Structure 1
Amino acid sequence: MSTNLLANLWNDADASLMSEPELLQYRSNLLGSDMRVTNYGGGNTSAKLQMDDPLTGQTTTVLWVKGSGGDIGSMGLAGFSTLYLDKLNQLLSLYPGVEFEDEMVAYLPHCTFNLNSRAASIDTPLHAYLPYLHVDHLHPDAVIAIAASKNSQQLTEDIFNGEIGWLPWRRPGFQLGMDLHKIATENPHLKGVVLESHGLFTWANDNKECYLNSLNIINKAQIWLEQQGAGKAVFGGKRFNTIPEDKRRQVVSRLMPLIRGKTSEKQRQIGHFNACDEVLQFVNSMDLERLAKLGTSCPDHFLRTKIRPFVVAYDPQKDNLDEVIESLDRSLADYRDDYAGYYQRCKRDNSPAMRDPNPVIYLIPGVGMLSFAKDKATARIAGEFYVNAINVMRGANSVSEYVGLPEQEAFDIEYWLLEEAKLQRMPKPKSLAGHIALVTGGAGGIGLATAKRLATEGANIVLMDIDEETLAVAKNELTNEFGKDCASSIKMDVTHEEDVVRAIKHCALAFGGLDIVVSNAGIASSAPLEETSLELWNKNQSILSTGYFLVAREAFALLKQQNMGGNMVFIASKNGLVASANASAYCVAKAAEIQLSRCVALEGAPLGIRSNVVNPDAVLRGSKIWTGKWKEERASAYQLSTDDLEEHYRQRSMLKLNVLPEDIAEAIYFFASDASAKSTGNILNVDAGHAPSFTR
């Protein structure tokens, strides 16, 4: 018995407390919880339920079906479209034929029940016209392996013994809905249908029975594939071995910024690295290049991954990375030319303009897979889709011969006008979408406020801090607010060169590169000159001067390698402009930061790398600097209690306002964004007005 089977997660006690719509959501979430069943956003589920019509008060049949853009694994009730079934049936009399599929979609909103704003999916007719109350349309790896095999119809008959039917490939729409109706009504014994090169439909008149049908069919396919594939060489056998993890990280951290820089002309790219067992087995195989050229089969796969991946010509035995890098421009140009040729061969008179011709998926022998997209979640999900495609190819080749969709069919899905309309409805990108920002001192008040401000504008964040415990808390706070893909973190001591080098490489590994550098790590000390020890002096210089230098140097090298410009923002202090008594070590180090920023501005300008300074003053709230001796020392200097210090600074300011971490974050965002695109080498004081600090 296979150990890889889907488990029955249905809980009768929980289900007994649910309404019919809630049961549909429950079934959907259970099925979508396993990516072997369907990918994120893929597949759809439905139920035909009896509801009270808000217009007539009479009971009517309503189709509840996953709406456009939803995900069955995570969706709530609001993710379902609701439509009058009788109106959907009336649409059949208006259907003129397959060439008018797109026009028919415009009728779906007229069938909306109860003013539901969730847009109906093109898959709605597939559910509406099946003569069963509950329907699941899924993309299981095991079933698509059969559907994408050369003799998929015969395999379907052999595996399921007439329990499951088979239909040839057809693009989703009203005609496929009618095909499903026909096969189900003419064969009432069927529990579902395999759709060639696409996926699986299962059905029943009971919610739980439909769920169990889906599980049983998928598990039956999985068991059969494992039995047939036992003892056979996978993907033609192994060609390469996986290189050690440290070496893999070196390869990836060098390649990702280069690829990102060379493919972000139309849209900034964010990268993701995946080295799971399935990926490594595929990239190390004899059949890698042959199968990669065939492209993916399931429409959900290639809509996310493009029709075929880019195979990086890396030989882990020769370690020819320098040669790969040297030829990268030519190799990417060849891929773009090939994609343009595919577009020219297949385009229709009304096809949308060619989209970005750069690859999404990059396969590296001995290393793993890179995926690039407009944001981290999309890049990660694209990689997950290609893992499913790998599973499909492995299964199909173990029992038959894998076949991709015909090129024209694939194009007609990729450039479907309905897909184009969906893209056009997407919200306008935020101002920092596609940007990667590192924040040192990221667990402190200013650091975390800055990370949140930049994340609000769509940036991906790499938090860096020496305090591992508070760093973990800060990262969790970020991901809870902005999603799991928003942030990464790494412990870093800015005074340790090795730490800094490793941390900057982490930016490449986590997101593919770097755009914004916020140097914010800091300490503060106070002592009269004659009481300032060499140790205290060196500590200030080490963190606030040398530490900022190390971060700037390593980040500058990455920005230069990436060749996309960039922004550095140094968080100095008003003490860098105007000295304070009893703080010589701190003031001198802060002045050094300002001068370092100006040097970076000079060297960075020809490369489009800007460098600016934000000077805070008296930011007490949330600041780790003000939680210890520094606060006591400053209070003592002014002969105040620590509780009175914040009010003292407020009264000292010209505007009589407190300066908060969020105020500093706003200034940092200004310098990090295009709002300051023509500013470099500048200083912005955020101090509520402190006349001695006016810049000269």
Structure 2
Amino acid sequence: MGSLITVADSTYQTPADETVAALIGRSNRLGADPRNTNYAGGNTSAKGAAVDPVTGEPAELLWVKGSGGDLGTLTEAGLAVLRLDALRALVGVYPGVDREDEMVAAFDFCAFGKGGAAPSIDTAMHGLVEAAHVDHLHPDAGIAFATAADGEKLTAECFGGRVAWVPWRRPGFQLGLDIAAIKAANPGAIGVILGGHGITAWGDTSEECEARSLEIIAAAQKFIDERGTAQPFGKIVVEPLPETERRARAAALAPVIRGLASTDKPQLGHYSDHPAVLEFAGSEKLAALAALGTSCPDHFLRTKVRPMVLDVAPDAPLEVVIARLRELHEAYRAEYRAYYERYATPDSPPMRGADPAIVLVPGVGMFSYGADKQTARVAGEFYLNAIGVMRGAEAISSYAPIAESEKFRIEYWELEEAKLRRRPRPKPLAGRIALVTGGGSGIGRATARRLAAEGACVVVADRDAQSAKAVAGGIGSADVAVPVAADVTAEDDVAAAIAAAALAFGGVDLVVNNAGLSISKPLAETTVADWDLLHDVMARGSFLVSREAAKAMEAQGMGGDIIYIVSKNGVFAGPSNVAYGAAKADQAHQVRLLAAELGGIGVRVNGINPDGVVRGSGIFAGGWGAKRAAVYGVPEEELGAYYAQRTLLKQEVLPEHIAAAVFALTGGDLPLTTGLLIPVDAGVAAAFLR
């Protein structure tokens, strides 16, 4: 936004740059601690003064976190900037709670300059409260008071007159008026508990406001710790499985549950076995509390009105658990549709989908879902917050969230629909999970990068753990890419790689069989060990990966893609290449065989025949390049150029060209193509398929 010039005769004397810097610092500190607020939850503000560059007159302004931003990572670009006099003038035209949504559009007419980020529904709270600095947060301890059956009484008991109580009201302009009136009537109050919702605090300085927010949170937690019951969820009736068994069962269930949760639209998953999740999921109050649902608006917007809860023993036979999950899912969808139909009006947005966002499996953990990995992870984090809220409320009273009808009004709020419409258009591979073998270098590295750039979550598998880690780290955070150390010749390693994909993202949709190596020798010099090694890595390795991936894809019921990186040598009969060429021919025929077999479950199987991919290639760097250069009688450093000159197009083939072909086969434009081998060799006539 740039700096703002301050004026001396304003109510607010702090220079605008200092005001904004203090606000950003306070926001980041508060947002960095999950005890204070959840991801993207709550908002902060500051009031200050600047000269209007158009009129030269002083203007009093409100800087407030914009819609959808996160306090922990907030920057100046994430602030909405409004004229305070214009915002407060809206009181005179406020049409009442029945037309509440109109006020958000009115905020646009209060913008100063370009206005910054889109104002949130809580903007009125910050502008109407007569304080220079305001924090609105969603701490578990505070919401525990807000959702306790006798929350108003407990608030008075804990805080005296220092913190007031505000009965539940949907966020909006009227809530801002309510809080402003309560502050005016309680001059000694430092903040309020918002029934069913969270806390708000204020101060004359940024430091004072932050200190008061932390005071409220700490006092609420101390009250819960000192006065609360020892077992707020009752007895543990289902013990967690031992960690190894627990994670193995989670990996087996993840593709099944993801497939169910993707009935309406594809979802990515997140798994958590946090101790608080395992305790809640194994408690005697699980069913009753889970049925009550969450309360804070930020919670159930991401977790839906309530979770789906498995009700069979965690160590029951897998087929029994899966059958029960399917029954529960069908019932959940019917119940969710009934919930929608109970409260929907002609003006309500269409039902977004009836699948659960949270699935609790006693003894195993929690599976959460969203359109991308971050959304899925954050949904799980929000439900962990909800568990903390229920724990606190049950410890000091009983948990009493807002009414189901109110939850619906917020879940299907037009303002939330507007947020969804502001999201960027998803990339072609958004919502898909890719596993790339041999992903630590060359073609595998380029392919992993391309798939991630097109929106996929990627599991980078390589025998070299450090290479896999480096490639995954270079792509992005664990919400986008994770490394796995795997030798594709080992069944256990392959199973572990697919399990890692299931635990990291929910399953697997797209597999690239790229792992390989090369040995170039004449027939007489080719040893049995050479033959076995090449066939173990490429023929056997591709078979093992495809077999394990197909099991996961079938469990998901969402179709999928298996891509083989073969070679023109699977077709072309070159010299001194019997072991490598035969292994590649094996892979090429696996493409045809598996395309014929897996089409019935919607899995496409295709292959790519590269040639002469020298630059960036791990195979060529490992000695294959020197041997092939010797065969063709050229210096090794000129091998790529030699390969290019023998092609029809006279172009060198790069790893990125192979990655582009992988995307072409999986990006959505060839949905009915299977059993195909695509040459990416710049034109080698002897390798034409016929």
Asked if these proteins are the same fold (TM beyond 0.5), I'd say yes
2:156–2:163: 8 Å Cα contact kept in structure 1? yes
Q: For residue 117 of structure 1, report the CA deviation from its aligned partner.
A: 4.2
**C-alpha distance in structure 2 between counterparts of 1:618 and 1:695, whole Å:** 18
What does residue 12 of structure 1 align with?
A: none
1:217 Cα deviation from its structure 2 partner: 1.2
Give the letter aligned to residue 430 of structure 2. Answer: A
Q: Secondary structure at the match of 1:327?
A: helix
What amino acid sits opposite 2:356 in the alignment? P
2:66 matched to which residue of 1? Answer: 67
Whether 1:610 and 2:609 are equivalent positions in the alignment is no
Are residues 350 and 253 of structure 1, via their aligned partners in 2, closer, same or farther at CA, if it must alter by over 3 Å? same
Q: In the TM superposition, what is the alpha-carbon distance from 1:418 to its structure 2 partner?
A: 1.2
- 1:281 matched to 2:279? The reply is yes
The CA deviation at 1:320 is 4.7
Distance 2:623 2:326 in 1: 55
- The percent of aligned pairs where both chains have the same amino acid is 47
- Deviation of 1:52 after TM superposition, in Å, equals 2.1
1:341 paired residue number: 338
Instruction: Give the secondary-structure state (helix, strand or coil) at the position aligned to 1:514.
Output: coil
Q: Deviations over 1:297-320 (max 9, x none)?
A: 11111111011111111313x625
Is residue 359 from structure 1 mapped to residue 342 from structure 2 by the alignment? no
Amino acid of the structure 1 residue aligned with 2:652? N
Matched, 1:630 2:624: yes
Aligned residue identity for 2:341 = Q
1:531 equivalent in structure 2: 525
- Hey, what does 1:124 align to over in structure 2? 123
Normalised by the size of structure 2, how large is the TM-score?
0.96
Contact 2:465 2:485 in 1 (8 A): yes
User: Aligned to 1:477, which of 474, 479, 482?
Assistant: 474
**Residue aligned with 1:73, SS:** helix
CA deviations on 1:131-161 (whole Å, 9 max, x unpaired) are 0010000000111001100011111111011
Quote the Cα distance in structure 2 between the aligned partners of 1:445 and 1:391.
46
Task: For 1:145 and 1:650, locate their aligned partners in 2 and report how far apart those are by CA, in whole Å.
Answer: 68
Greater displacement, 235-244 / 389-398: 235-244
CA distance in 1, matches of 2:409, 2:444: 47
Unmatched segments (≥5 aa) in structure 1: 1-14
Q: Deviations over 1:615-646 (max 9, x none)?
A: 11111121111112111111111222212212
Residue correspondences, number: 677
> Residue by residue, what CA displacement relative to the aligned partner does 1:583-616 show, whole Å, maximum 9, x if unpaired?
1111110111000111000001222111111111
CA contact (8 A) 1:143 1:218 kept: yes
Q: 2:412 aligns with which of 415, 420, 424?
A: 415
> Could you list the per-position Cα deviations for residues 324-352 of structure 1 after superposition, in whole angstroms to 9, with x for gaps in the alignment?
21232221111111111111111123111
The 5-angstrom pairing of residues 37-48 of structure 1 reads 37-48=36-47
Q: Which amino acid aligns with 1:259?
A: I
Residue of structure 1 aligned with 2:312, choices 288, 303, 314: 314
* Unmatched 5+ stretches in structure 2: 1-13
Query: Does 2:172 match 1:173?
Result: yes
Match of 2:426 in 1: 429
> CA–CA distance in 1 between the matches of 2:392 and 2:509?
41
SS in structure 1 opposite 2:587?
A: helix
2: CA distance, partners of 1:533 / 1:330: 56
1:421 to partner: Cα distance: 2.0
| SS in structure 2 of the partner of residue 477 of structure 1 | helix
Q: Any idea what SS the aligned residue of 2:101 has?
A: helix
Report what 2:654 is aligned to: 660
Do structure 1's residue 563 and structure 2's residue 557 form an aligned pair?
yes
Q: How far off is 1:17 after superposition?
A: 13
Kindly state the Cα deviation for residue 16 of structure 1 after the two structures are TM-superposed: 12
Q: 1:498 aligns with which of 492, 495, 500?
A: 492
> Could you tell me which amino acid in structure 2 is paired with residue 579 of structure 1?
A
Q: Which residue of 2 aligns with 1:9?
A: none
Q: For residue 153 of structure 1, what is the aligned residue in structure 2?
A: 152
Tell me the residue number matched to 2:259.
261
Shift of 1:18: 7.3
Partner residue in 1 for 2:615? 621
- CA deviation profile, 1:254-278 (whole Å, cap 9, x unmatched): 2221122223232101111101111
Query: 1:156 is aligned with what amino acid?
Result: T
Q: Counterpart in 2 of 1:381?
A: 378
Structure 2 match to 1:221: 220
What secondary structure, in the 3-state scheme, does the structure 2 residue paired with 1:675 have?
A: coil
User: In structure 2, what is the Cα distance between the partners aligned to 1:100 and 1:468?
Assistant: 58
CA contact (8 A) 2:264 2:355 kept: no
DSSP 3-state at the match of 1:628:
helix
Q: Are the aligned partners of 1:313 and 1:324 in contact in 2 as well (CA < 8 Å)? A: no
Contact 2:297 2:407 in 1 (8 A): yes
* Residues 568, 672 of structure 1: 8 Å contact kept: no
Report the equivalent of 2:246: 248
SS in 2 for 1:332: helix
Contact 1:314–1:320, Cα closer than 8 Å, also in 2: no
State how far apart, in whole Å, the 2-side matches of 1:652 and 1:58 are.
74
AA of the residue aligned to 1:577: V
**Is the Cα contact below 8 Å between 2:604 and 2:674 reproduced in 1?**
yes
**Aligned counterparts of 1:673 and 1:94: Cα–Cα separation in 2:** 51
- How many Å separate the matches in 1 of 2:261 and 2:130? 48
Equivalent AA in structure 2 for residue 411 of structure 1: F
Correspondence for 2:683 = 689
Q: CA deviation at 1:426?
A: 2.1
Matched, 1:645 2:639: yes
Instruction: Confirm or deny: 8 A CA contact 1:618 1:687 kept in the other structure.
Output: yes
2:452 is aligned to 455
SS of equivalent to 1:234 = coil
Give yes or no for contact 2:81–2:116 (8 Å, CA) kept in 1.
no
Q: Secondary structure in 2 aligned to 1:495?
A: coil
Conserved in 1, the CA contact under 8 Å of 2:465 and 2:483?
no
1:302 and 1:443 map into 2 onto residues whose CA distance is 40
1:235 pairs, out of 220, 233, 236, with 233
Whole-Å Cα distance in 1 between the matches of residues 551 and 412 of structure 2? 39
1:183 is matched with 182
Please report how far the alpha carbon of residue 424 of structure 1 lies from its aligned counterpart in structure 2 after TM superposition. 2.4
One-letter amino acid of the counterpart of residue 52, structure 2: D
Query: SS at 1:166's partner residue?
Result: strand
Partner amino acid, structure 2, of 1:210: C
Q: Is the 8 A contact 2:569 2:584 kept in 1?
A: yes
Residue 673 of structure 1: how far off its partner (Å): 2.2
State how far apart, in whole Å, the 2-side matches of 1:97 and 1:561 are.
Answer: 51
Matches within 5 A, 1:544-583: 544-583=538-577
Structure 1 residue 396 and structure 2 residue 390: aligned? no
Find the aligned partners of 2:428 and 2:70 in 1 and give their Cα distance. 26
Counterpart of 1:105?
104
- Asked if the contact 1:314–1:321 (Cα under 8 Å) also holds between the matched residues in 2, the reply is no
Q: Secondary structure at the match of 1:89?
A: helix
Equivalent residue letter for 1:130: V
Quote the offset at 1:679 in angstroms. 1.0
C-alpha distance in 1 between matches for 2:15 and 2:542: 61
Which amino acid is the alignment partner of residue 625 of structure 1?
A: I
Please tell me the residue identity of whatever aligns with 2:387.
I
> Once structures 1 and 2 are overlaid, which stretch shifts more, 128-137 or 510-519?
510-519
Distance in 1 between the 2:643 and 2:51 partners?
64
2 CA distance for matches of 1:125 and 1:579? 75
Q: What's the TM-score, normalizing by structure 1?
A: 0.95
Aligned-partner SS, 2:114: coil
1:675 and 2:669 are equivalent in the alignment:
yes
Q: Given residue 621 of structure 1, which amino acid in structure 2 is its aligned partner? A: R
Q: Which residue of 2 aligns with 1:10?
A: none
Structure 2 distance, partners of 1:139, 1:453, is 38
**Cα distance in structure 2, aligned partners of 1:173 and 1:290:** 31
Moved more, 339-348 or 147-156: 339-348
RMSD: 1.5
CA contact (8 A) 2:224 2:392 kept: yes
